[in-house]
Amino acid sequence: MQTSKYNIVSKVKDSEQWFVVNSLSGQADILDRATYLQLQKGDESNPELVENGYLVDPVQEKKLFHEKYLRFLDDREKDEIQIFLVTNYSCNFDCSYCYQAGYEQLPFTLSKELIDSFFEYIGNEFTGRRKYITLFGGEPFLNALRHKENIGYIIQKAAEYNLEIAAVTNGYYLDEYIELLKGGKIREIQVTLDGTAGMHNKRRYLKGGDPTFDRIVHGVDLLLGNRIPVNLRMVVDKQNIGNLPDLAQFAIDKGWTASSLFKTQLGRNYELHECQANHSKLYSRLELYQDLYDLLKKFPHISQFHKPAFSVSKFLFEQGELPAPLFDACTGTKTEWAFDFTGNIYACTATVGKKGESLGTFYPEVTKNIPAVEEWQDRDILSIPKCQTCSVSLICGGGCASMAKNYNGTMNSPDCRPVTELLELGIASYFNE
């Protein structure tokens, strides 16, 4: 017997206790000092350490790893596919941090022919798979007549194909789009607010600088009033994190958080393709969660608005068990694809529209770059040397392929997540009693 390769052991933040999380055995425990020392020594006299898979026979552990890997691949074949459709890269906003600001204007527009080809392609390619479409931009809900007609056509065709539609929008023209949305099968609309009025308007303004907060708030009210689910996203960095308690209170006072149709996400503002104007504002993943941990302690009402994941801590707290081992965190070309109005196909939203990243075309003709698709599909923690010996691999899953390529020049390389540190914070935050 020896200690499992997949034990993640550390001290709970601000506590005299330790924790062990083992994603392969599916077990997690809070440990007192004596048990922690037993585990460190590999002391088999404590039967629970063996029963919970923290002390293992390495041959058996390898076998279990392979069994669970095959199950992961099988399950993923049955997972739903999220198909992004970028209807345009243009936008009516000029957000202070937009990573798409560097995209060139293209001599293409959305057309009915292209939309027909898109539905034909996804019908053939993903036949028999559960799937839904997410409209994405730029800003997909622009208020130009032809564009609106085309969006209406997509919503109508999706309903004919019995596919749900989601959208990622800045929320400015929701009033103009509500009738179209009422006619579709809408899964959710993601709208971004970066804080209460003053802070939001400082970051997310129209081209020309006019404020946008009031119209977006009205749009969220309209969606919820029409029973359309809202996913409210706050893009956070060091400039606006201090406004989170106020935005949480605002959403509570509006009655949004009491609705079962309302959920939230915090999107970390990070450098993706274009240089951010001011890097010092940006958070690393860990810094963000450290500040969230402190904010939640000081302003507990934030948790009515948003409960941070802290890696798998929230899942463990809410579900009472760990998620299945994650052999691959990157969904690109597996359960996610992105299509754009130029007729190109990409792996995901991180690469969509990026030069050299197209994996094929669906319009005007169907073409596929099979070696490039295979490179994406072959990437997981078994193909990345550093991940093969990493104790947090089954929670990290190797991170994001696109970020890995940005950092290391090749996709088959790690994009490390601070799993242990996030668990230290998250276990303290969720299991403090």
Question: CA–CA separation, 433 vs 30, rounded Å?
Answer: 11
| Burial of 31 from C-beta contacts in 10 A (0-12 / 13-18 / 19+) | buried
Structure tokens belonging to residue 280 = 């010092």
**Judged by CB, which is closer to ligand SF4: 388, or 432?**
388
Find the part of the chain contacting ligand SF4 (CB under 6 A) among 188-196, 199-207, 210-218, 398-406.
398-406
Question: CA–CA separation, 83 vs 141, rounded Å?
Answer: 17
Number of residues that bind ligand SF4 (CB under 6 A): 25
Q: Kindly tell me which residue out of 166, 387, 423, 425 binds ligand SF4, with binding defined by CB under 6 A.
A: 387
The least CB distance from residue 149 to ligand SF4, in Å, is: 31
Asked if 330 is part of the footprint of ligand SF4 (rule: CB under 6 A), the reply reads yes
**Judged by CB, which is closer to ligand SF4: 219, or 398?**
398
**Judged by CB, which is closer to ligand SF4: 169, or 393?**
393
Asked if 400 is part of the footprint of ligand SF4 (rule: CB under 6 A), the reply reads yes
Asked if 390 is part of the footprint of ligand SF4 (rule: CB under 6 A), the reply reads yes
Asked if 348 is part of the footprint of ligand SF4 (rule: CB under 6 A), the reply reads yes
**Judged by CB, which is closer to ligand SF4: 167, or 395?**
395
**Judged by CB, which is closer to ligand SF4: 331, or 361?**
331
Do you know the residue count of the chain?
Answer: 433
The least CB distance from residue 162 to ligand SF4, in Å, is: 25
Q: Kindly tell me which residue out of 12, 168, 199, 392 binds ligand SF4, with binding defined by CB under 6 A.
A: 392
Of the candidates 123, 105, 25, 62, the residue with the CA atom closest to the CA atom of residue 325 = 25
CA Rg value for the chain:
23
Find the part of the chain contacting ligand SF4 (CB under 6 A) among 51-59, 136-144, 250-258, 384-392.
384-392
Residues 390-406 as b or e (16 or more Cβ within 10 Å = b): bbbbbbbbbbbbbbbbe
Residues 300-314 as b or e (16 or more Cβ within 10 Å = b): eebeebbbbebbbbe
Question: CA–CA separation, 224 vs 234, rounded Å?
Answer: 18
**Cα→Cα distances 275→23, 97, 269, 278, Å:** 36, 9, 12, 8
Question: CA–CA separation, 396 vs 391, rounded Å?
Answer: 9
**Judged by CB, which is closer to ligand SF4: 311, or 361?**
311
**Contact set with ligand SF4 (CB under 6 A):** 329-332, 336, 347-348, 350, 381, 384, 386-387, 390, 392-393, 396, 398-402, 414-417
